Structure 1
Amino acid sequence: KEAASRPPRYLEMHVILDKALYDYMGADKDVVVAKIVQLFSYVNSMFAPLNLTIVLSSLEFWIEKDKIPTTGDAEELLQSFLQWKNEHRVSWLQDIMFLFVYREQSRYVGASSARKLCLKSHAGGVALYRRAMPLEAFAVAVAQLLGLSLGMELEDPGSCQCAGAACIMRPSSVHSPGVKAFSTCSIRDFQRFLAAGEGQCLLNRPAAMDVAYKAPKCGNKVVEPGEACDCGTAEECRRDPCCTIGCNLRRGVQCLTGPCCRKCRFRRKGAVCRRSSEDECELKEYCNGTSAQCSPDLWVMDGHPCGRNTAFCYRGACQAADKQCQRIFGSDAKNGPLACYEEINSQMDRMGHCGSNGHGYQRCAWKDLQCGKLVCEYSSSRPFTKEKAAVMYALVQNKLCVTLDYMKPPNERDPMLVNDGTVCGDRKASDALMCSSSFGRRRTCRKHCSGNGI
């Protein structure tokens, strides 16, 4: 079994306010700074269970005029913002840069670069602050956008469970009252993001932290250094079963929030706190009876057979090529035959290759043809379309083969590359774009699991 470790992590942000939002918040630096500091206190209260601190490293106001146009669609504005950032090399010392923009009305909370947090040229976000929007609601919007950059996905109602009154990554949580918390699905997504090595920039601890930023204030509903809890006003604290008016825990209280916390007490050892998905390579997680947090995300060892011995487990998912094709091209699609891979991946061009580097596309060795671009068999009579992608068809031995070429920067990994762990031959699987005979070899596990076995 494998799990993502959770040492303390730090996300350093550079935040810019456009002129309209600076004016709306009072057009006074001290007043606006106080509001933004309060905003990040709310944001940090949501990320604290992930052992992740959101550090407001630097703050910039566009007081006289905006340096880029801030009107239009959020996604288009994000691309303009990233282009401006890269051209002027703004804030390259921080992990991510956000632009806060004022809007009289908006149906969206903003846009961010999904899973691009540690890629300096792509890491960024645009958060839209609507007129009369409570600061707590805007904090949820910022948390959602940061969550997308951290590998999380927006959730449908009822699809995932969380300890709070509302799950943060549900779009409706921006308008929901009560405590917000990340769901088990979001935590799993974040841990997979870390396990894939995409969060390395979060490991460096900032050299200095702004003292004012960390100064605690009892009664603001944000748990800060020196406080065990914070239940808000005196009336709210009288109704709170866990916290007192002085920001201390009541007698006998073991915990406040978390998937293994119920009514201020730890849940019993062995209680399920994170159910496995439908994927057979993922495992349930259980409370240990001494912590409010669920055990780290666990999954079956990489290389374990799955899918009735037709595929291998890798990072908690059964890497069946048919499923990869169906996620992209629909339920009728399936993995292409070897002849399709030979036809397309032997070309060494944008449609067929085994990866790329600064010198161009990589040639596929014959044994690695099924480890480059994913090639699927397409049976629908309707032409397939995909936003920001070119579609290529090839008729090979009466089979209609299809693949995609996404519009992306040359230094970004092609999202159509076959997943590691995908079968490419008898007892062989794709590993770093090569067909490996060692991938599926079973490793010997210790009989004594040191309390970590299932």
Structure 2
Amino acid sequence: SLSQGHCHYSGYIEDVEGSSAALSLCSGLRGVIHTEGTSFGIEPLEGSTSDEHLVYRLEDVKTGPLSCGTPHFHNHDDEASPRKPTDSHVHNITFGQAGSHLIRFNYKKRNQTAVREEMVQIANYVDSMYMALNIRIVLVGLEIWSVQNFINTDGSAGEVLGRFTQWREKELVHRRRHDSAQLIINKGFGGTAGMAFVGTACSRSHSGGINSFTNNNVMSFASIVAHELGHNLGMNHDDGRNCKCDVTHCIMNSGATGSHNFSSCSADDFEKMILNSGGRCLLNIPRPDEAYSAPFCGNKLVDVGEECDCGSEEECEKDLCCEPKTCKLRSGAQCAYGVCCKNCRFLPGGTVCRSSTDECDLAEYCNGSSALCQNDVFKQDGHPCKQGQAYCYNGLCQHYDTQCQAIFGTKAKAAPELCFKDVNSKGDRFGNCGYHSNGFKKCESRNAMCGKLQCENVQSSVIFGIKPSIIQTPIAGTTCWGVDFLLGSDVPDPGMVNEGTKCGENKVCLNFECKSAEVLNYDCDVERKCHSHGVCNSNKNCHCEYGWAPPFCEASGYGGSVDSGPTWNDKDTSTRDGLLVFFFLVLPLLALGLYVFFKRNELKRRFFRKKRSQGPSVKCAVGGVEDESGGRSLSPTYSPPPAANSCQLSIKPRDGHCCERNLRSQYITECMMGARKLFSQLNTSHLSPTKDVYGNTPISLIVLRFLCAI
């Protein structure tokens, strides 16, 4: 927990739309206030004996000339993202989350409590900057290296960044759930203030950044952290783009200006990353026990002891689930937030809350008792995909053809191996295996398939909305296409072969080298562990096919895993009951009706001919008297039958029609008797021939009566 009774707070200025504030009361009043394009800082006046404080505009603070080490490019399309295709649809991100883990080297053996307070203060300031984009930054972990560094910090900023992200993937990812990790180090890298990978917020291998903290101005430094974290969230530099900024320079300017405002370009970049499924993990709302912050009802974060938090009373006016004064659920509400919450009620178990996006990805489902979706899992790294031609890596099936199509269009495909070996042996910007201290690194022959991507059958040269540098190399009758996005060594280049790509039999690309696939540590025996009815997920648990139940896919069930949530709602039987009624009642009756309809003539001949020939004679008085055989006598004598009815006794002209009606009625009666006999022979129902179990006339008899009347 935080020291000094939780002294860090965030909020806004009452009645000022778009304002935000982050304040600390730990040792005097200090913090930042953002309003109407202007940011103010407040801190205790040094040397004052009467608790005086200094208030100033942050843009007036002068800092040394520093820049971001992530190279920027001149975008030829202001609406384009350098890593994802554009999307014209409007998408409103109402509440994003970016859980951040801060790693701080303890400079000069400073008091760890003071360092902790300083880092929480920085996270609070960064959160206040992102509020304008409807993004919340939640500090979920803080690690202080007080004895030694766990990575080598020598070398360039790019080299340190690479070592840090590798350490994070190996050590930090498994400790605590987080979306991005930022290393704060008291070391300068020339004029570089920080460096980070772009659009990698949910990546296990590249979601991180480094930040050079060489002075004691916490507020200015918070802008650097916000900048590098912005890169992880898909934001590129504003330089050379037609961006709208309310101040002279915004946060994502390549120079460390100390600004606390985001530009329109930053908002667009983040939106495009979300639209292209680049921020799936940002929907994972931190649990109350994960947030490294002070509990406060009204901060829109569900803290320990709270059931919900919709903000101020004004913001909660339209919230039907949460009580703003107590941060408790309203009467009758089960939940107030989360992808598995709708209309204040939990979504039924088995509802998909995170769909699969790749053949190496696995879907997650609501469990029916929580508003939160299960943690994102995917097939274990190293699982075969694309009919054994590739491996799963970080939830994606990595293959040369797929990458070529993503860059050059759907008809592109990987060039022959000869292209990779020839081009990547040169060691220049168009063919290399990464960098070393002297520049581009030539690929050894065994690593050539892990250098610059080479494609053929290319039909488009505008990639991701921009025009990169493209080189065409004719080799052995084919044209090898390569690309350079001019992003430098400090961001993952889309023109390099993706890590995890299969570069040979039992070989995989990692760090621009073609290594044994054993480095992926794939140890899943699907036959023994999952009984050949499932695959292993990233937690090494079986994810079962439909028809088999976790955890080991040996018993019947509905599929899924212990990590995915239930794929079927056992409590909701409406679908099952409906199917039973349809298949065992409606469908048989429908089949019977159709059978009788199409066979009605045959049935008439089969069941009614004998009875009609043996039935009693019917005599009519009008126009003569019918004889026993049904012929008409010319005698005018009237001779009524023994059981004459009123119709037969009638001597009016219409009596001939009346007689025909009696014949028709007799025929229908005989038809029904025969149909009942048929119904009994077919043995299609156990119901009474005249009434069902509820005392109603069965549908089958209604159908038969209709057919007999035809």
The answer on 1:55 being equivalent to 2:147 is: no
Deviations 1:195-253 (A, max 9, x none): xxxxxxxxx998xx7x8xx7655xx9786787644557879867643223634322343
Counterpart of 2:433 in structure 1 is 354
* Distance change >3 Å, CA 261–CA 326, structure 1 → 2: same
Counterpart of 1:452 in structure 2 is 562
- Between stretches 280-289 and 433-442, larger displacement belongs to 433-442
CA–CA distance in structure 1, aligned partners of residues 462 and 263 of structure 2: 35
* Distance change >3 Å, CA 265–CA 50, structure 1 → 2: farther
* Distance change >3 Å, CA 30–CA 129, structure 1 → 2: same
Counterpart of 1:251 in structure 2 is 331
Counterpart of 1:22 in structure 2 is 38
Counterpart of 2:342 in structure 1 is 262
Q: Any gaps of 5 or more consecutive residues in structure 1?
A: 1-12, 34-43, 61-82, 100-110, 131-138, 160-184, 193-203
* Distance change >3 Å, CA 141–CA 223, structure 1 → 2: farther
- Post-superposition shift, 1:436? 2.4
CA–CA distance in structure 2, aligned partners of residues 243 and 19 of structure 1: 28
Residues 159-238 of structure 1: pairs in structure 2 closer than 5 A: 185=277, 187-188=279-280, 190=282, 216=297, 228-229=307-308
* Distance change >3 Å, CA 191–CA 289, structure 1 → 2: closer
CA–CA distance in structure 1, aligned partners of residues 562 and 373 of structure 2: 13
* Distance change >3 Å, CA 205–CA 362, structure 1 → 2: farther
Which residue among 467, 473, 477 is the counterpart of 1:398?
Answer: 477
CA–CA distance in structure 1, aligned partners of residues 493 and 306 of structure 2: 46
- Post-superposition shift, 1:269? 2.7
Deviations 1:16-56 (A, max 9, x none): 999993299xxxx97999xxxxxxxxxx9924586899621
* Distance change >3 Å, CA 301–CA 141, structure 1 → 2: same
Which residue among 367, 374, 378 is the counterpart of 1:288?
Answer: 367
Counterpart of 1:374 in structure 2 is 453
The answer on 1:312 being equivalent to 2:394 is: no
- Between stretches 391-400 and 229-238, larger displacement belongs to 229-238
Deviations 1:184-204 (A, max 9, x none): x35426599xxxxxxxxxxx9
- Post-superposition shift, 1:322? 0.8
SS of residue in 2 equivalent to 1:114: helix
Deviations 1:327-350 (A, max 9, x none): 111222111101101110111122
- Post-superposition shift, 1:430? 1.4
The answer on 1:325 being equivalent to 2:374 is: no
CA-atom RMSD in angstroms: 5.2
Q: Which structure would you say has the larger RCO, counting Cα contacts within 8 Å and 6 or more residues apart?
A: 1
The answer on 1:415 being equivalent to 2:494 is: yes
| Aligned residues between the structures | 335
Residues 88-127 of structure 1: pairs in structure 2 closer than 5 A: 93-94=221-222, 96=224, 114-115=231-232
SS of residue in 2 equivalent to 1:298: coil
* Residue identity in the other structure for 1:128: C
The answer on 1:430 being equivalent to 2:506 is: no
SS of residue in 1 equivalent to 2:323: coil
CA–CA distance in structure 2, aligned partners of residues 311 and 59 of structure 1: 44
Deviations 1:98-120 (A, max 9, x none): 69xxxxxxxxxxx995337999x
* Distance change >3 Å, CA 339–CA 128, structure 1 → 2: same
- Between stretches 247-256 and 315-324, larger displacement belongs to 247-256
CA–CA distance in structure 2, aligned partners of residues 269 and 140 of structure 1: 42
* Distance change >3 Å, CA 223–CA 22, structure 1 → 2: same
Counterpart of 2:685 in structure 1 is none
CA–CA distance in structure 2, aligned partners of residues 325 and 296 of structure 1: 31
Counterpart of 1:365 in structure 2 is 444
SS of residue in 1 equivalent to 2:421: helix
SS of residue in 2 equivalent to 1:374: coil
CA–CA distance in structure 2, aligned partners of residues 301 and 262 of structure 1: 32
- Between stretches 436-445 and 293-302, larger displacement belongs to 436-445
CA–CA distance in structure 2, aligned partners of residues 286 and 407 of structure 1: 41
Which residue among 113, 118, 128 is the counterpart of 2:245?
Answer: 128
Deviations 1:280-325 (A, max 9, x none): 1111111123321111111111111111222111111111111111
CA–CA distance in structure 2, aligned partners of residues 351 and 312 of structure 1: 26
Counterpart of 2:415 in structure 1 is 336
CA–CA distance in structure 2, aligned partners of residues 191 and 251 of structure 1: 26
CA–CA distance in structure 2, aligned partners of residues 417 and 144 of structure 1: 26
CA–CA distance in structure 2, aligned partners of residues 190 and 244 of structure 1: 25
- Post-superposition shift, 1:407? 1.9
- Between stretches 406-415 and 369-378, larger displacement belongs to 406-415
Kept after mapping to 1: 8 A contact 2:398/2:498: yes
Kept after mapping to 2: 8 A contact 1:345/1:364: yes
Counterpart of 2:554 in structure 1 is none
Which residue among 352, 361, 365 is the counterpart of 1:272?
Answer: 352
* Distance change >3 Å, CA 127–CA 340, structure 1 → 2: same
Kept after mapping to 1: 8 A contact 2:338/2:371: yes
Deviations 1:152-197 (A, max 9, x none): 74455xx8xxxxxxxxxxxxxxxxxxxxxxxxx35426599xxxxx
SS of residue in 1 equivalent to 2:420: helix
CA–CA distance in structure 2, aligned partners of residues 89 and 299 of structure 1: 40
Kept after mapping to 1: 8 A contact 2:499/2:511: yes
* Residue identity in the other structure for 1:329: F
Counterpart of 1:46 in structure 2 is 95
SS of residue in 2 equivalent to 1:299: coil
- Post-superposition shift, 1:427? 3.2
Kept after mapping to 2: 8 A contact 1:384/1:391: no
* Residue identity in the other structure for 1:56: Y
* Distance change >3 Å, CA 239–CA 369, structure 1 → 2: closer
* Distance change >3 Å, CA 413–CA 19, structure 1 → 2: same
Kept after mapping to 1: 8 A contact 2:32/2:125: no
* Distance change >3 Å, CA 239–CA 387, structure 1 → 2: closer
Identity of aligned residues (%): 29
Counterpart of 1:76 in structure 2 is none
Counterpart of 2:199 in structure 1 is none
CA–CA distance in structure 2, aligned partners of residues 335 and 291 of structure 1: 45
Which residue among 357, 362, 377 is the counterpart of 1:298?
Answer: 377
* Residue identity in the other structure for 1:243: C
TM-score (norm 2): 0.39
CA–CA distance in structure 1, aligned partners of residues 448 and 192 of structure 2: 39
SS of residue in 2 equivalent to 1:270: coil
CA–CA distance in structure 1, aligned partners of residues 471 and 127 of structure 2: 46
- Between stretches 399-408 and 246-255, larger displacement belongs to 246-255
* Residue identity in the other structure for 1:46: F
CA–CA distance in structure 1, aligned partners of residues 392 and 491 of structure 2: 25
Q: Any gaps of 5 or more consecutive residues in structure 2?
A: 1-21, 24-30, 41-53, 59-92, 102-119, 130-190, 195-211, 248-259, 285-289, 531-540, 543-550, 552-560, 565-710
